[in-house]
Amino acid sequence: MPPTLTAILLFALGLVLLVAGADLLVRGASRLAAAFGIPPLIIGLTIVAFGTSAPELAVSIGAVLRGQDSVALGNAVGSNTFNVLFILGLSALIVPLQVARQLIKIDLPVMIGSCVLLVLLSLDGLLGRIDGAVFATLVVLYTFMLIRMARRSPDPPSVDDEFVKEFGPKPAEGKPRNWLNALFVLLGMAMLVGGSHWLVGGATTLARVVGLSERVIGITLIAAGTSLPEVFTSVIAAVRGERDIAIGNAVGSNIFNVLCVLGAAALVAPDGITVPPNVLWVDLMVVLATAVACFPAFITGMTLSRREGLLFLAGYVAYIVYLFIESNGMDVP
């Protein structure tokens, strides 16, 4: 079988395993948590939030353990750019997105702050274990803050109604089937590990065959692939009229991509994650610029309009074109 076809098959199989594994992990862990009386809102803010970032986490950790820092960094950075410019842009084109006040007051500043911190910690050209520990500590604090806010929220949603809406029918009373949910968790984790291995391997082979750098493959193919859960969630939420979910999903995922994904990857990387100058001064600046651009877009009428969504999509296309031109060694104006 030709190397290109083999690489494409590995990439596709890895992608399928990542998406399916994340779904199994979230469903199994959510049902286990519910069996122990944990409210669905808390489950959503913790387990589900982690689950949507599980593909990025698995790929980035697998990449750094194989010495492919460019893939790990490009995956997390590219996913953030993809979440804002492509996912929010596409969702806003479908229907203008309503912006919740909590998002403006809390989540958006946290997203911008995490991007600023990422740039500052990358100025020395390396994300080491201390940097990873800082990120990990911040994501724990952020998660606890979300949980405290959820518990203090007036008129919390019905536990049973919200669980059924989010995760499907509950097991019959007296038959929790915890063993099956635990099996889902283990199987989901195994699929994430295997999927990340195949995805990174296939993408790396593709990069060599077509002459693209691992950085570009990580920012484009891998980042878009691992962001598929966010794509489906935001687009479906927009179609169903759940507009705050469409935006909150993208913003929340960006926070976890920086603090959790890069934090964990930096902690396990044997020699830290190398940040080349072109990644620092181009890709990280794009991530920071897109995060900052969300602020004026969100506060104008508390809505992300179709026009703004189109601008976001145009910005993403321009960025991808720039990457491919740069990768081919052409002069970029």
Residue ranges per structural domain of the chain: 3-169+178-327
- Provide the token pair at 301: 């009428």
**134 close to 121: Cβ distance less than 8 angstroms:** yes
As a whole number of angstroms, the distance between CA 18 and CA 188 comes to 8
- Provide the token pair at 219: 């920012």
**Contact residues for 149 (Cβ-Cβ < 8 A; gap 6+):** 102, 106
Q: What percent of the chain has pLDDT over 90?
A: 31
168-177, 192-201, 239-248, 274-283: lowest mean pLDDT where?
A: 168-177
Give the residue-averaged pLDDT of 233-239: 73
In this prediction, residue 14 has a pLDDT band, given cuts at 50, 70 and 90, of: confident
Give the residue-averaged pLDDT of 253-264: 92
Phi, psi (degrees; rounded to nearest 5) at 98: -75, 135
Whether pTM exceeds 0.75? yes
Chain segment 305-315, per-residue pLDDT in tens: 999 999 999 99
**Contact residues for 333 (Cβ-Cβ < 8 A; gap 6+):** none
pLDDT score recorded for residue 245: 67
As a whole number of angstroms, the distance between CA 270 and CA 58 comes to 16
pLDDT score recorded for residue 332: 47
13-22, 33-42, 106-115, 298-307: lowest mean pLDDT where?
A: 33-42
Tell me the pLDDT of the chain averaged across its residues. 81
Chain segment 272-299, per-residue pLDDT in tens: 999 999 999 999 999 999 999 999 988 8
CATH no. of 3-169+178-327: 1.20.1420.30
- Provide the token pair at 215: 């950085």
pLDDT at 243 over 60: yes
3-state SS, the chain, equals CCHHHHHHHHHHHHHHHHHHHHHHHHHHHHHHHHHCCCCHHHHHHHHHHHHHCHHHHHHHHHHHHCCCHHHHHHHHHHHHHHHHHHHHHHHHHHCCEECCHHHHHHHHHHHHHHHHHHHHHHCCCEECHHHHHHHHHHHHHHHHHHHHHHHHCCCCCCHHHHHHHHHCCCCCCCCCCHHHHHHHHHHHHHHHHHHHHHHHHHHHHHHHHHCCCHHHHHHHHHHHHHCHHHHHHHHHHHHCCCHHHHHHHHHHHHHHHHHHHHHHHHHHCCCCEECCHHHHHHHHHHHHHHHHHHHHHHHCCCEECHHHHHHHHHHHHHHHHHHHHHHCCCCCC
Give the residue-averaged pLDDT of 149-155: 64
- Provide the token pair at 333: 């104006």
As a whole number of angstroms, the distance between CA 240 and CA 230 comes to 15
